[in-house]
Chain A
């Protein structure tokens, strides 16, 4: 009886494992793949967070600089990436006439040497030189600071095109009715010469249906600037990419289906306030086209795809990581590779591109190698299989 049970159990486990494995295997075979070329570990000070939600890359001659937000201290810290040394720190004040309020989620971009534009989640735009505020504009008409919520994360870094700065925009939180929410403008541009701010014609695509609700991370668009001066948009539940043509102020669907080969399924959540358990479960059970990043050195795009973890329950949903896959696209938006990364290893929020390739942070608290005293990044390059 026991032997019979054991055999049955073994068969069941094998069948289960093979099914589980199958769901994470891409259907399509590509001739190239992203592989880890090297790892770089840089020690960081006690008051520097291991994670940065916003990293700009600056090339000056042969030297690459990592311009990184440190939200612990309202700081922008510049590292020489070649040497791994910190070279400059800008600290913005939290009080007084030079305060920068709500820097933690703000989008920042350098517009001239040591001059930055900072657009915040409280609808304010600051122009700062070093740690002094030169200009402050308030674009809120709600009284709550939600009129023009502007943020900046690695998946939607602010960009500069000529005299215009483009910032990610979040719809106001007090308008959670899906049809109204989905008709909000999702991009704003600020002209540094005229000091004016305008909403751009970028709205949620048709994949967001008025009767369907999604969790916040499934609503946050990603965009990246390519070498043609276009902003390429990726929306979390839509496999299609979109091209924003700046001169025409138009968002155009790129007519190529770019579904992930890893059984990416999208399930909306219930349209009501969810308990945290239900919220995390609802979020993790659905795939997410998380981010799009252009590689100007190789004329490629990297698209980060998140896939549901195995054995997901309401109880474990918060702790479980998504699986991370990276899709590589050529300049014409053809998929040339799609690779699943090792589980519990990377942080999909923390990435950047340099001359060497695509870097992704290994600072995932579920990674056994996790050490908060280092920034640790793996370099991925495209190789033949």
Chain B
């Protein structure tokens, strides 16, 4: 019995260990947030605690102005304060699917830590991009811009 428990324990650990970052993100989105993972969906995950607020506000301003959106885009804001998440995403729900993780679960689960993460679920392949909102803001803007405007392959 003791050995069986050990084996089970090691097995559970190894199962978690072999999960890639991408799989953990997909698991968090699909199983924790219950959002369907479909081709053509684009998820931008934004941790908000102890990050650059100015960058998050700039992200909001940039996304509000965005036109020609060809994808189903989910913006996942992670933090502890619903009010704060509402403030940071004000006006975005008209164009995007705005989701709040007010239990900071994405960070606690280690899905994201400091960086904003962009995950593109496409037919050919799923790609993940990580950005530091404080230092790589321009890079993130550029990537979001390209992905949002990319037409989905039939």
How far, in whole Å, are A273 and B134 apart by their CA atoms in the complex? 12
Query: Is B132 at the interface (CB under 8 A from chain A)?
Result: yes
Query: Is A372 at the interface (CB under 8 A from chain B)?
Result: yes
A 25-74 contacts with B by CB, 8 A: 46-50, 72
| Beta-carbon contact of B114 and A370 below 8 Å | no
Q: How far is the CB of B83 from chain A (nearest CB, A)?
A: 5
Query: Is A249 at the interface (CB under 8 A from chain B)?
Result: no
**Known contacts A104-B53, A319-B108; A50 and B114 CB within 8 A of each other:** no
**Known contacts A104-B54, A365-B104; A277 and B81 CB within 8 A of each other:** no
How far, in whole Å, are A93 and B88 apart by their CA atoms in the complex? 18
Query: Is B128 at the interface (CB under 8 A from chain A)?
Result: no
Nearest A residue (CB) for B132:
A276
Query: Is B60 at the interface (CB under 8 A from chain A)?
Result: no
Query: Is A88 at the interface (CB under 8 A from chain B)?
Result: no
> How many residue pairs, one in A and one in B, have C-beta atoms under 8 Å apart?
44
Q: A334-356, CB under 8 A of B: which get 1 and which 0?
A: 00000000000000000000000
**In the complex, which of the residues A50, A315, A318 contacts B81, with contact meaning CB atoms closer than 8 Å?**
A50
| Beta-carbon contact of B80 and A365 below 8 Å | yes
**In the complex, which of the residues B87, B104, B110, B114 contacts A72, with contact meaning CB atoms closer than 8 Å?**
B87
A 283-322 contacts with B by CB, 8 A: 315, 318-319
Known contacts A277-B113, A365-B49, A365-B80, then 6 further A-B pairs from the complex at CB < 8 Å, ordered by chain A residue: A49-B83, A72-B87, A276-B134, A280-B114, A319-B108, A372-B83
Listed in ascending order, the chain B residues whose CB lies under 8 Å from chain A are: 49-50, 53-54, 80-84, 87, 104, 107-108, 110, 113-115, 132, 134-135
The 3 closest A-B pairs by CB, nearest first: A276-B114, A365-B80, A372-B81
> Would you list 30 pairs from A and B whose C-beta atoms are within 8 A, ordered by A residue?
A47-B87, A49-B81, A49-B83, A49-B84, A49-B87, A50-B81, A50-B83, A72-B83, A72-B87, A104-B53, A104-B54, A276-B113, A276-B114, A276-B115, A276-B132, A276-B134, A277-B113, A277-B114, A280-B50, A280-B114, A315-B113, A318-B107, A318-B113, A319-B107, A365-B49, A365-B80, A365-B81, A370-B80, A372-B82, A372-B83
